[in-house]
Chains A and B, each alone.
Chain A
Amino acid sequence: MEFSGFFWAAVFWMAGWGVIGSIALKRRYLHRDLDTSNTSMVGAFTGAAAGPFALIPLWIKTPRLTTRYIVLPVIATVVVFGLFFAKGDPGNICVTNGTFVASQFVNGLVIGIIYGFMALGLTLIFSILGIVSFAHGEFYMIGGMITYFITSVWLPGINPMIGVLGACVATFTLGAIFERMFLTPMYEGKIDRPVEYGILVTFGLAFTLQYFVQATAGANPVKAQRFLSFPRMGLPSSEDPWLMKTSRGSMELFESVTISSPRLTAALTCIFVLLALLYLLHRTWTGKALRAVSLDREAAAIAGINPDRMNMLAFALGGMIAALAGSLLVQAFSWLPQVGAIPAMRSFVIVVLGGLGSLPGAFFGGIIVGLVEAAGTGCVPDPQKAASYIPAYGMIVLTLTLLLRPTGLLGRKYASATHGQN
């Protein structure tokens, strides 16, 4: 299955008009002295979706670029790309098999929720401490490892809930201790370049943790038992289960979409914890204090909040969130000490896409990246290549974000990449 020349020509056409659109529109708006903050993105997507046909009216009329002008071209671009893809490779499974597409979509959504949840931890740390934790992937890895050891090695047969809780407690403690020991000098102005220090010291932590786990747990892949087995059943009846059919490890909806039990339990738990987290952030004093510190450190301190304590809490909580994601996924994937690298990269992509420091942004970003990866792995003809390129899909999203909308989808307050000193 080779892609036809038609497909590559179409991609070239879209990319070319995208570049032209983003540059031309920005110049036009600048020249007309209008708000240029969205022009690159709108121009790029309008150009990619409809080429000159939509760019020229936009160029002439220069309307105020409201959300409508952003969302519509993005959707149109995806649709147009899909059409070109279908035309270019009519035999592709993503074109011929609707069931497969639905299944990929649902699974992308499910895994995207988990990605978004993990990225939430990273963005929480960033919004309070102003640093990007390079140890996020290692927290994820350790969460999975601890859960595996508790449920399968030390106390086999125990309720997996205990394993998950154990991982949370351990990583929370680890995060708090690390923050006290290594990050405190940042706030006292003892470090010349706090942002770089934060990157390097968490990088050191990542390195240490990864090899510590390898030294103690070995380098062989492990996998935990699935936490939950579905009861065998069929809906509406077990004779004709067109609505839903379950086996022990997975469930099938509408005789087309298959979701495995580990993924479903992980995603549901993530949503549940996310709601709990939102409650914590918006309804409790501690959560309000956290948000206050993220908005204005000094003002929060004047209001009687101890920002140092909030730093510790944020770092520990952020690490714990990653660990929780790991401990939920250790039942779905096989686990190695190096397993954290790709999820860490993915979390970086998601937080930049969503807007560094924006919690809802991280969640939506996660879903987008989940869908993009599902499309990428499902539809690229050569499955082996498709799997190898997984990190690359995210990076393409990252590069586009940095070029077109450095503030991310929902990032406003937290400045942009270009002013990202804090």
Chain B
Amino acid sequence: MINLKVTNLKKSFGGLEVLKGINFEINGPELIGLIGPNGAGKTTLTNILDGAIKPNSGTVYLNGERIDQYKPYQVALAGLGRTFQVTRSFRRMSVLENLYVPALAVGEEQNRAVVHEKAMEVLEFLTIDHLRNDYAQALSGGQQKLLELGRLLMLDPDVIILDEPFAGVHPKLMEVIYEYIRRVNDEGKAIVIISHQMDAIFNLAKRLLVLNYGDMIADGPPADVKNDPAVIEAYLGVDEEDEDELAGADQS
């Protein structure tokens, strides 16, 4: 059973409190959207979960294992994978080699033939198997997003954090990525999507976490969150554009 438990997580940078005691829990293969205006602390939260920075206080448990003091690679091995806001494929390695890296790093299966087979399965699932021997830098932006997703599938984590998975993706490809995210979720992985594109979040997520100035101001189903006065105020008070996003999500 997948369980990610974040308790009273605090982080500040030289006196500026970026996270003021975050609490939430993920149970089972949930599909969660993490939203919040700019500067709400989404990136900091992701970086703490990922191990890139250490929290000042608070704990993170993944399946009963405490991971908040882990290094990034230990977090990845413990079962939490992430993508980056800007696509970060290994540009001068072939698509297949990109996929081998996490599989061999996890180290459960060192047999190259088995790893290769698994990689081919992932590539076929993502329909980019015809590009398998191309250098990643030859891929289009959308294909690189798929490749990043593929690498995560090879890592086979329990919890996946997708940081802006739709940024710079062609609208035609958006639906395709939705579909993949849903299918990965159906396979039993918890997914957290961080995005500014509200329509995408509302389209996908079954639960929303809303951050504002380091506080978790709402946690619940999208329909409830949308009408939450605190959320509306946060978006109204801070950023009109984001408010439009909320409105746009209303219509969809």
- Of chain B, the residue at the smallest CB distance from A29 is B14
Cβ of B56 under 8 Å from chain A = yes
10 A-B residue pairs with CB within 8 Å: A33-B12, A33-B15, A33-B56, A34-B14, A34-B15, A35-B14, A35-B15, A192-B91, A192-B92, A192-B137
Most chain A CB within 10 A, of B12, B14, B56, is at B14
Which A residues from 175 to 192 make CB contacts under 8 A with B?
192
Tell me the bound Cα distance from A35 to B12 in angstroms: 10
Tell me the bound Cα distance from A135 to B133 in angstroms: 39
Interfacial chain A residues near B91, Cβ < 8 Å: 192
Tell me the bound Cα distance from A34 to B13 in angstroms: 7
- Of chain A, the residue at the smallest CB distance from B12 is A33
Most chain B CB within 10 A, of A33, A34, A35, A192, is at A33
Residues of A within 8 A of B (CB): 33-35, 192
- Of chain B, the residue at the smallest CB distance from A32 is B56
Tell me the bound Cα distance from A335 to B91 in angstroms: 46
Shortest distance from the beta carbon of B50 to any chain A beta carbon, whole Å: 18
Tell me the bound Cα distance from A33 to B15 in angstroms: 7
Give 8 new A-B contacts, CB below 8 A, not counting A33-B15, A34-B14: A33-B12, A33-B56, A34-B15, A35-B14, A35-B15, A192-B91, A192-B92, A192-B137
Interfacial chain A residues near B137, Cβ < 8 Å: 192
Tell me the bound Cα distance from A33 to B56 in angstroms: 7
Tell me the interface secondary structure of chain B in the complex: loop
- Of chain B, the residue at the smallest CB distance from A34 is B14
Tell me the bound Cα distance from A35 to B56 in angstroms: 13
Q: How does the 8 Å CB contact mask read for B45-69 relative to A, with 1 for contact and 0 for none?
A: 0000000000010000000000000
Interfacial chain B residues near A33, Cβ < 8 Å: 12, 15, 56
Interfacial chain A residues near B14, Cβ < 8 Å: 34-35
Shortest distance from the beta carbon of A255 to any chain B beta carbon, whole Å: 54
Tell me the bound Cα distance from A35 to B92 in angstroms: 38
Q: How does the 8 Å CB contact mask read for B91-107 relative to A, with 1 for contact and 0 for none?
A: 11000000000000000
Tell me the bound Cα distance from A224 to B29 in angstroms: 79
- Of chain B, the residue at the smallest CB distance from A31 is B56
Tell me the bound Cα distance from A121 to B12 in angstroms: 40
Interfacial chain B residues near A35, Cβ < 8 Å: 14-15
- Of chain B, the residue at the smallest CB distance from A192 is B92
Shortest distance from the beta carbon of A1 to any chain B beta carbon, whole Å: 49
Tell me the bound Cα distance from A35 to B91 in angstroms: 36
Interfacial chain A residues near B92, Cβ < 8 Å: 192
Which B residues from 194 to 228 make CB contacts under 8 A with A?
none
Q: Which 7 A-B pairs have the closest CB atoms?
A: A35-B14, A33-B56, A33-B12, A192-B92, A34-B14, A192-B91, A34-B15
Tell me the bound Cα distance from A35 to B16 in angstroms: 10
Tell me the bound Cα distance from A68 to B91 in angstroms: 46
Tell me the bound Cα distance from A33 to B17 in angstroms: 10
Tell me the bound Cα distance from A192 to B56 in angstroms: 38
- Of chain A, the residue at the smallest CB distance from B14 is A35
Interfacial chain A residues near B56, Cβ < 8 Å: 33
Q: How does the 8 Å CB contact mask read for B132-149 relative to A, with 1 for contact and 0 for none?
A: 000001000000000000
- Of chain A, the residue at the smallest CB distance from B137 is A192
Interfacial chain B residues near A192, Cβ < 8 Å: 91-92, 137
Shortest distance from the beta carbon of A344 to any chain B beta carbon, whole Å: 31
Tell me the bound Cα distance from A34 to B92 in angstroms: 40
- Of chain A, the residue at the smallest CB distance from B54 is A30
Tell me the bound Cα distance from A319 to B15 in angstroms: 44
- Of chain B, the residue at the smallest CB distance from A37 is B14
Tell me the bound Cα distance from A192 to B92 in angstroms: 9
Shortest distance from the beta carbon of B141 to any chain A beta carbon, whole Å: 15
Tell me the bound Cα distance from A35 to B15 in angstroms: 8
Shortest distance from the beta carbon of B210 to any chain A beta carbon, whole Å: 25
Shortest distance from the beta carbon of B149 to any chain A beta carbon, whole Å: 24
Shortest distance from the beta carbon of A20 to any chain B beta carbon, whole Å: 22
Shortest distance from the beta carbon of B58 to any chain A beta carbon, whole Å: 13
Shortest distance from the beta carbon of B89 to any chain A beta carbon, whole Å: 13
Shortest distance from the beta carbon of B98 to any chain A beta carbon, whole Å: 16
- Of chain B, the residue at the smallest CB distance from A36 is B14
- Of chain A, the residue at the smallest CB distance from B56 is A33
Q: How does the 8 Å CB contact mask read for B164-189 relative to A, with 1 for contact and 0 for none?
A: 00000000000000000000000000
Tell me the bound Cα distance from A34 to B16 in angstroms: 10
Interfacial chain B residues near A34, Cβ < 8 Å: 14-15
Tell me the bound Cα distance from A192 to B138 in angstroms: 12
Shortest distance from the beta carbon of B57 to any chain A beta carbon, whole Å: 9
Tell me the bound Cα distance from A192 to B137 in angstroms: 10
Shortest distance from the beta carbon of B90 to any chain A beta carbon, whole Å: 12
Shortest distance from the beta carbon of B108 to any chain A beta carbon, whole Å: 32
Shortest distance from the beta carbon of B228 to any chain A beta carbon, whole Å: 31
Tell me the bound Cα distance from A315 to B14 in angstroms: 38
